[in-house]
Amino acid sequence: MSILIDANTRVISQGMTGFAGSYHTYRMMQYGTKIVAGVTPGKGGKEHLDVPVFDTVAEAKSTTKANASIIFVPPVSAANAMIEAIEAEMPLIVTVTERIPVLDMVRVREMLVGSKTRLVGPNSQGVLAPDVCQIGVMATDRSRRGSIGVVSRSASLTSEVVAQLTAAGLGQSTSIGIGGDAVHGIGFVECIKLFFDDPATEGIVLIGEIGGNEEEQAADFLRSAGMKKPVVALIAGKHAPAARRMGHAGTLTMHSTGTADSKIDDLKKAGVAIASSSHLVGATMREILKESAA
Amino acid sequence: MELYEFQAKQLLAQYGVATPEGRVAVTPEEVERAVKDFGGRTVFLKAQIHAGDRAKAGGVRPAGSPAAAKLAASELLGRKLVTKQTGPEGHLVKRLLVEAAVEGGQEFYLAAMVEPFSGSIMFLGGAGGIDIEERAAKDSSLLERVHLGISGEKKTGDIAAFCERMGPKDHSAKLKPIVDRIHKAFIELDATLIEINPLVLTKSGDFIALDAKIILDDNALFRHPDLAELREMDEIDEIELKAQRSQINFVRLDGDIGVVVNGAGLGLATLDLLHAAGGKPANFMDIRTTAKSLDIANGIGLVLDNPKVKVLFVNVFGGGMQPCDTIIEGLGIALRRKGRVLPMVLRVTGNNEDIAKVRLESFGLPKIHSTDMWQAAQRAVAVAQGKAQ
């Protein structure tokens, strides 16, 4: 099994008729994901990639019984696309779009409170349950089905770590990109909870970096909930110059955010095994699993 | 995008937050005239740079007469000011803000920022004074806080109670409208930070913003063409701006290993690997997934322009949106354009790795050194140190 998505997940693609939307929706279909419809305002009634296109998420959802949506809508209207999907009570939204204004995300977060929706992203590569379902834009050729859950703030490092896990003989139950933006949907803590409850997941990899406080929150949670399954973490950015934004908006140092060293320290104290270098995540997980089996 | 103090104050004044009477001047003569126009009152000359800690570095100077102001201005303008926040090279002072002195009083700190965990606008406030930001960073309980929303009353915290806790005795009712105005400005300007430090409560019972800092959300500038124009006067690094235009996040560092990486996380990890191997990166690079091969060529060109670079370290993991071959194409184009011959260590793996190999050959570029990034990083460091070729 996997978390958030499975073989029965029925996906609509918001912004499917655009260039990137078309390309990546097609890739997901090839992977075996059940793409049941697209949504592009003004193009309702047409067909694209052999699935119907609707004007609204509500229509697409009620007609096709979709339970997830992926959003490729450009930054200027991405927040409205998310809000439309939240109002249509879509259980899962994955937003790929990057460079969304941060206050638009504050608005989206307000809409999420008390809603029936889980949001992944924005600025996320998506969610992948290898061989089962892909909702996202990640490369899939190095991933294998297995028992490691991966949750990450970085798309590029996820590809790297997934390849290392597979090379170490460790497949993945699900990999999730929570996105590189400061204000986003689900975070490390919620993903860890889901992985703890998922019988198919035996170990968890956290891929964190400087900035924000996802890692601190995860450490807090693990200290109080206990390490139900082994957790390995990689924290990137030990040598990043201070007070500079390094690509991800989330890496901008803000009030009460930790350095790479303080995050590592926090996680260690909670019982997390730290990969001493970014090329050693797969090997570290293999060691930890051996130890816990012994 | 960070605004200058005078720009921040102009915007705050438009929202009804009181600021000292002031004028921007670019020559000592303009400064002298401004002081005369202010009726010869005592003024402060404030260097306009994008960095704090100016006062301690001599970037804020009082002047009691037009002549004294002119003299002080000639000492500040056209010089580089080095503060704790500028780095050793300092920032060039091109403008001064000439401000009429304000009668002293109790000082407060007040700031609004986006708080990622709650997804809200957080206000921090409390008694101010020297180094309050540093002290509060160590002990966050020094400042009061309230989380505010955007849409509608019910999602908004209790501003009156926050003002009460902030502690301006008998004057918290006067503080509330200021918080309201900053909240409104924050939303309408698409700010990520508005900070007033100090906010002074004068003896006559008025709040005045003595210093102000505003950072705007770069991702929201598309809906603020008027504010985007303020960037013309910005001190942003020209090279980093060029990279931005090519969909690349680039930060200059002072080492000798030119770094080409796709992705912010992998970019950070690459710096860590090079440091662990004993090397010094010349730059941080994050080729965004939206960059095409010509954008990538522009970005790599910026690395090649750096004379300190002794070796190029290409660490690429091809993803679904940006396969390996796109980046190698950009690399090939950049090298042909610049005609610079440089040792290269390539670690290229992931989506379309096989096509990338064919491209490398057709451009006459070296083979992939390793698919393991640690091995490749060690090699790049050895080359930079002259221990390998």
CATH, residue B57: 3.30.1490.20
Contact between B268 and A251 using a beta-carbon 8 Å cutoff: yes
In chain B, how many domains are there? 3
Q: Token pair for residue A25? A: 């929706």
For chain A, list residues with pLDDT below 50: 251-254
CATH number, residue B354: 3.40.50.261
Is B109 in the active site?
A: yes
Instruction: Say if residue B269 is in the same domain as residue B336.
Output: yes
Task: Establish if A57 touches chain B: CB-CB under 8 angstroms.
Answer: no
- Whether residues B249 and B371 share a domain: the answer is yes
In a domain, B15, yes or no: no
B174 and B87 inside one domain: no
Q: By mean pLDDT, which of A79-83, A290-294, B86-90, B155-159 is the weakest?
A: B155-159
* CA closest to B254 among chain A residues: A241
Pairwise CA distance, residues B98 & B61, whole Å: 10
φ/ψ of residue B265, rounded to 5: -65, -45
* Of B72, B100, B128, the domain-final residue: B100
Mean pLDDT score, B338-359: 95
Residues 85-144 of A with CB under 8 A from B: 98-107, 109-110, 113, 125, 136-142
262-321 in chain B: CB under 8 A from chain A: 262-269, 271-276, 281, 284, 286, 288-290, 317-321
Q: Are B123 and B179 members of one domain?
A: yes
Q: Where are the domains of chain A?
A: 10-120, 141-293
pLDDT at A256: 52
Enclosing domain of residue B331: 242-384
pLDDT number for residue A257: 67
Residue B1 lies in a domain: no
- Decide which of B230, B259, B285 is a domain's last residue: B230
The per-residue pLDDT for B235 is 59
With beta carbons less than 8 A apart as the criterion, state whether A254 and B113 touch.
yes
What is the mean pLDDT of the segment spanning B288-303?
95
Q: What is the DSSP string of B211-258?
A: SEEEEE-GGGGGG-HHHHGGGGG----HHHHHHHHTTEEEEE-SSSEE
Say if residue B66 is in the same domain as residue B191: no
Please report the pLDDT score of residue A243 as a whole number.
Answer: 56
Note whether B342 and B336 are within 8 A (CB).
no
- DSSP per-residue string spanning B10-74: HHHHHTT-----EEEESSHHHHHHHHHHTTS--EEEEE--S-S-TGGGT-EEEESSHHHHHHHHH
Token duo for residue B94? 């091109």
Q: Are residues B247 and B367 in the same domain?
A: yes
Of A106, A139, A207, the CB nearest to B120: A106
Architecture of domain A10-120: 3-Layer(aba) Sandwich (3.40)
Contact list in A for residue B268 (CB cut-off 8 A) is 154, 209-210, 236-237, 240, 246-247, 251
* Assigned domain for B358 exists: yes
User: Which pLDDT does position A253 carry in this prediction?
Assistant: 42
Write down how long chain A is. Answer: 294
Distance from C-alpha of B319 to C-alpha of A143, rounded to nearest angstrom: 12
The interface residues of chain A toward chain B in range 144-203, judged by CB-CB distance below 8 A, are 152-160, 163, 180, 182-184
Catalytic residue among B32, B144, B195, B329: B195
User: ipTM of the assembly?
Assistant: 0.93
> What are the strands, taking DSSP E only, across chain B?
22-25, 43-47, 60-63, 80-81, 91-92, 96-100, 105-115, 120-127, 144-148, 191-202, 207-209, 212-216, 248-252, 257-261, 283-287, 311-318, 344-350
Is the model's pLDDT at B154 over the cut of 50? no
Q: Name the domain boundary from B172, B203, B230.
A: B230
pLDDT of residue B156: 63
| d(C-alpha A32, C-alpha A26), whole Å | 10
pLDDT tens track for A60-70: 999 999 999 99
Span A141-293 CATH architecture: 3-Layer(aba) Sandwich (3.40)
Is B132 a domain residue? yes
Residues in chain A with CB shorter than 8 Å from the CB of B276 are 277
**B263 interaction partners in chain A (CB closer than 8 Å):** 154-157, 247
pTM: 0.93
Residues 201-260 of B with CB under 8 A from A: 217, 219-220, 222-223, 249, 251, 253
Question: Same fold for the domain at A10-120 and the one at A141-293?
Answer: yes
pLDDT in tens, B109-134: 999 999 888 899 999 999 887 677 77
Which residues of A participate in catalysis according to the annotation?
Answer: 248
B262 lies in the same domain as B376: yes
Residues B197 and B246 in one domain: no
In a domain, B58, yes or no: yes
Q: Distances in Å between the alpha carbon of B76 and those of A5, B6, B72, B100?
A: 61, 17, 6, 18
> Are residues B285 and B349 both part of a single domain?
yes
Contact B268 A217 (CB under 8 A): no
Position B277 in a domain: yes
Question: Which alpha helices (DSSP H) does A116-259 contain, by range?
Answer: 155-167, 188-197, 214-225
Q: Is residue B264 part of a domain?
A: yes
Domain assignment present for residue B56? The answer is: yes
Considering only alpha carbons, which residue of chain B is nearest residue A21? Answer: B321
